[in-house]
Amino acid sequence: MLSALLVMAAIAIVLGALLGFAAIKFRVEGNPLVDKIDAILPQTQCGQCSYPGCKPYATAIAAGEADINRCPPGGEEGIQKLADLLGVEFKPFGNETAAPKPKSVAIIDENTCIGCTLCIQACPVDAISGAAKQMHTIIAQECTGCELCIAPCPVDCISMIVIEEKITNWKWKYPTFPLVPA
Amino acid sequence: MTKLYSFHGGVHPPSNKSQSTRTPIALAALPGKLVIPFHQHVGNIAKPLVKKGDRVLKGQLIGAPEDAVSSAIHASTSGTIAEIGMQIVAHASGLPDLCVTLIPDGKDEWINHQGMDYRSADESDIRLALRMAGVVGLGGAVFPSDLKLRVGKRKIKTLILNGAECEPYISCDDMLMRERAEEIVRGAEVIRHVLDAEQVLIGIEDNKPQAIAAMQRAASTSHDKMEVITIPTIYPGGGAKQLIRVLTGIEVAAGVRSTEKGVQCFNVATAQSVYRAVQFGEPLLSRIVTVAGNVTHPQNFEALIGTPLNELLALAGVLPDTDHYIMGGPMMGVVLPGATVSVVKSTNCVIAASDNLFPPPPAAMPCIRCTRCADVCPAELQPQDLYWFAKAKEFGKAQEYNLFDCIECGACSYVCPSHIPLVQYYRFAKSEIWARESEKNAADSARERFEFRSHRIEREKQERAEKLAVKEKAALAAKQPVVADMTQAAAPAADTNRITPDPIQEKIQAAIDRAKLQAVMVNPRNTVQLTAQQQAEIAEIEARRARIREHAQSEVEHHPKE
């Protein structure tokens, strides 16, 4: 009777130690779901979702605090992907978020720029180069089109231009065929 | 006779090549203007080196290669640069691209150029020469040839020259082999030398007996181990992987490069331009273009790069009912935005098309899963599945089914009993996947930059806080001089570290002091050192002012609240 108890206790201790060790060894840093959601978000860091960046929005979605339809730059496709990932119903854009816009980049009118650095401070991805009292310019490849630089500019010298279709970014279109009356 | 292998599938469309091979290659007349795009190759667009109004010589470099994957662009003849700007180019999109417009002066004056002895030259020099000569794959892929010659430590056993030319209507390689076999063989020797290949196999389809004979004659003069192999005519036998399979039996698997299997493949026209570039230092300025289809005299022209297509079409006698133009063959070619675009390095063939010649396909019917497409697919894919995935925009699934192994040969569309334009779906899916990939990369880089910025702001905040803490401590120490003196006496070294004010703060203080001193030094200049006359004037003015003031006062007193 005693030996059986001892054996059971020993097994429990060994298994417990194993489990404890595994819990430390294979510990997952942070919530993996947040990273998965963050990977779907377009990383414009524009704050149109009312969160200060894509990661905070992803955290809020993972915590169930935010809806999946608050990211206009991600488009309906983004909502679809989030719905698939989280196993919830697709939800169209509501009234509280802006409508999705075509992808664009900001451009500084360099004749008007006074070099105040306010836009540099606003840019979430460091895509504006310049210094105090020097002309600023936008690094177009790094610009996410978040529009956060437009409001702070005191001389309104920043405008958004829609990215044009060029040979380098041209895509074959989905095959469509005109209906011909028989 | 070498043992030949076969690849899966393939079709036998009517070849329609004999019409354009009746007459020798004609030299196209010098056109009134040349429009030369800066992007005629796989990789980065060449950087313009000329400006409007410049006079250029034939063979002069006008576009320099940018970064590793790129190629050079040259003036095809001597003349004046009339314009550098966006113009519609020979591309399926019909969109404009950066081009130079060159008005020939008719002198066709060459720039100084000289060849090299490739046998004694360094391999990297040969590659650089080809890069600067703008030599790219002329089979249609326009991949820079110098990069194909960079194989690193991999041992290349076999060099394959592709003279199969399987696509209907196209006969430019056929005519080139008939007329310039010698140059092709010399070019093959250069390539073989650089690759250090053991043997050269030249694959030509059996519907080109004259080209085979000419190439055999030329190959027999070579000291290299070179063999011309006649392969059966089957479309797409000219695909690189297909030709490698037929000639060597080697199966190049998905995602594997042929060089890993010890084989490298070049088009015959590319070999010829390699020869011209290495032997004479001549850049790639012209190519053979087949003009066929709805024309009275279908034939091959040697046309300068940049020649407007309508000039070539006029030479071939284009018929009035032509309504669109196809660049490439009827199987893989793309519909051009018009005949005003110019010949580029990938223009192997231009087909004038009309509804008579190519009747519009009947309306596409639903897929009945007959799998005839799978039977003919040379890449051994399942085209019907890929079609479903592309149609439903399930791109991940399409990739899983090896969409990117599809060579867009069009054999599947050719046999489809429902007339589904399958290749259009694959092209759509491929470009969507590429676009998503680049979007994903952009998002990843944005995330990285955002995170770095947040981290930097946090760090700066911390640094400021630390600085402030040091300053406060210093201020506290200054307030208690006794304590400070004591510490100074006890540990002068530690003290200097702790109490010495920030150099920036010192500078600011010094600037403030300077400004104060300046303010004290400055005298109101027009009120000191006055002459007696000026003092008298001032006194008079003051007296007048006093009188007026007095007068005004008395006025108010005499007429109160009027």
Q: CB–CB of A174 and B428 under 8 A?
A: yes
Whether residue A180 lies within 8 A of chain B, CB to CB, comes out as yes
CB B35 within 8 A of CB B73: no
Share of residues in chain A with pLDDT > 70 (%): 97
At B292 the three-state DSSP class reads strand
Which residues in B lie closer than 8 A to residue A173 (C-beta atoms)? 428
Q: Look at phi and psi of residue B296 and say left if phi exceeds 0, alpha if psi is from -120 to 50, else beta.
A: alpha
Beta strands (DSSP E) in B345-482 are 349-353
DSSP B154: P
Domain range enclosing B461: 361-479
- The closest alpha carbon to B346, from B126, B152, B71, B153, belongs to B71
DSSP string, B301-346: EEEETT-BHHHHHHHHTB-TT--EEEES-TTT-EE-S-TTSB--TT
Domain shared by B132 and B70, yes or no: yes
Q: Is residue B32 part of a domain?
A: yes
Residue written as token pair 């720029």:
A113
SS3 assignment for B6-69: CCCCCECCCCCCHHHHCCCCEECCCCCCEEEECCCCCCECCEECCCCCCEECECCEEEECCCCC
Domain shared by B101 and B141, yes or no: yes
- The closest alpha carbon to B164, from B117, B69, B68, B228, belongs to B228
Q: Which residues contact A101 (CB under 8 A, 6 or more apart)?
A: A72, A73
Statement: residue A142 has pLDDT above 60: yes
A25 vs A20, A28, A33, B467, CA distance in Å?
A: 9, 9, 20, 40
Whole-prediction pTM value?
A: 0.80
Per-residue pLDDT, A28: 80
Q: CB–CB of A167 and B97 under 8 A?
A: yes
CA distance B186 to B161: 12
Domain shared by B254 and B380, yes or no: no
> What is the fold of A102-165?
Alpha-Beta Plaits (3.30.70)
CA distance B81 to B285: 16
CB B450 within 8 A of CB A45: yes
Beta strands (DSSP E) in B328-426 are 334-335, 349-353
Of A125, A168, A175, the CB nearest to B446: A125
Q: CB–CB of A38 and B447 under 8 A?
A: yes
Statement: residue A2 has pLDDT above 50: yes
Helices and strands of chain B, counted as H and E runs: 17, 17
CB B200 within 8 A of CB B225: yes
Compute the nearest-CA separation of B472 from chain A (Å): 28
The b-or-e profile of B222-231 (16+ CB within 10 A means b, else e) is: eebebebbbb
Q: What CATH number corresponds to the domain at position B412? A: 1.10.1060
DSSP B501: P
Compute the nearest-CA separation of B367 from chain A (Å): 15
Give the tens place of pLDDT for each residue, A96-129.
Answer: 777 888 889 999 998 999 999 999 999 999 999 9
Q: What CATH number corresponds to the domain at position B141? A: 3.40.50.11540
Q: Which residues contact A116 (CB under 8 A, 6 or more apart)?
A: A132, A153, A154, A155
CA distance A146 to A159: 12
Of B39, B95, B453, the CB nearest to A124: B453
Which of B446, B479, B512 is the last residue before a domain boundary?
Answer: B479
Domain shared by B407 and B295, yes or no: no
Whether residue A59 lies within 8 A of chain B, CB to CB, comes out as no
Domain shared by B317 and B386, yes or no: no
Domain shared by B391 and B318, yes or no: no
Q: CB–CB of A43 and B424 under 8 A?
A: no
Domain shared by B345 and B230, yes or no: yes
A89-98: average pLDDT: 84
Domain shared by B336 and B463, yes or no: no
CB B58 within 8 A of CB B111: yes
CA distance B154 to B166: 30
Give first-to-last CA distance, chain B, whole Å.
Answer: 131
> Angle at the Cα of A33 (from A29 to A35), degrees rounded to 5?
70
Q: Which residue of B has its CA nearest to A35?
A: B447
Low-confidence residues of chain B: pLDDT under 70: 1, 481-501, 522-528, 556-562
Compute the nearest-CA separation of A55 from chain B (Å): 9
Domain shared by B38 and B126, yes or no: yes
Domain shared by B365 and B349, yes or no: no
SS3 assignment for chain A: CHHHHHHHHHHHHHHHHHHHHHHHHCCCCCCHHHHHHHHHCCCCCCCCCCCCCHHHHHHHHHCCCCCCCCCHHHHHHHHHHHHHHHCCCCCCCCCCCCCCCCCEEEEECCCCCCCCCHHHHHCCCCCEECCCCCCCEECCCCCCCCCCCCCCCCCCCEEEEECCCCCCCCCCCCCCCCCCCC
CB B266 within 8 A of CB B243: no
Interface probe for A, chosen from B66, B89, B93, B457 (most Cβ of A below 10 Å), is: B93
At B130 the three-state DSSP class reads helix
Statement: residue A180 has pLDDT above 80: no
CB B33 within 8 A of CB B104: yes
Q: CB–CB of A142 and B446 under 8 A?
A: yes
Whether residue A126 lies within 8 A of chain B, CB to CB, comes out as yes
Per-residue pLDDT, B527: 66
Which of B304, B328, B353 is the last residue before a domain boundary?
Answer: B353
Which of B461, B479, B497 is the last residue before a domain boundary?
Answer: B479
Query: What is the number of other CB atoms lying within 10 angstroms of the CB of residue A115?
Result: 13
Please give the tally of structural domains in chain B: 2
Which residues in A lie closer than 8 A to residue B95 (C-beta atoms)? 165-167, 170
CB B326 within 8 A of CB B293: yes
Give the tens place of pLDDT for each residue, B80-111.
Answer: 999 999 999 999 999 999 999 999 999 999 99
Per-residue pLDDT, B1: 56
Q: Which residues contact A144 (CB under 8 A, 6 or more apart)?
A: A42, A43, A44, A45, A46, A73, A124, A125, A127, B442, B446
Domain boundaries, chain A: 32-86, 102-165
Domain shared by B147 and B129, yes or no: yes
**Pairing state between β A137-138 and A128-129:** antiparallel
Domain shared by B296 and B404, yes or no: no
Quick one: tokens of B21? 């091979």
Quick one: tokens of B339? 């005949």
Q: Is residue B191 part of a domain?
A: yes
CA distance B269 to B292: 19
Whether residue A169 lies within 8 A of chain B, CB to CB, comes out as yes
Of B91, B96, B450, the CB nearest to A43: B450
Per-residue pLDDT, B523: 57
At B231 the three-state DSSP class reads strand
Whether residue A26 lies within 8 A of chain B, CB to CB, comes out as no
Q: Is residue B139 part of a domain?
A: yes
Q: Which residues contact B354 (CB under 8 A, 6 or more apart)?
A: B293, B294, B319, B321, B322, B323
Of A43, A172, A175, the CB nearest to B447: A43
Q: Which residues contact B277 (CB under 8 A, 6 or more apart)?
A: B129, B130, B133, B135, B283, B284
CB B169 within 8 A of CB B293: yes
Dihedral, B386, B388, B394, B395 alpha carbons, nearest 10:
20
Residue written as token pair 């290299």:
B224
Of A43, A127, A166, the CB nearest to B443: A43
- Residue B441, φ and ψ in degrees, nearest 5: -65, -40
Partner residues linked to B85 by β-bridges: B99
Domain A32-86, second-level architecture: Orthogonal Bundle (1.10)
Per-residue pLDDT, B296: 94
Q: Is residue B545 part of a domain?
A: no
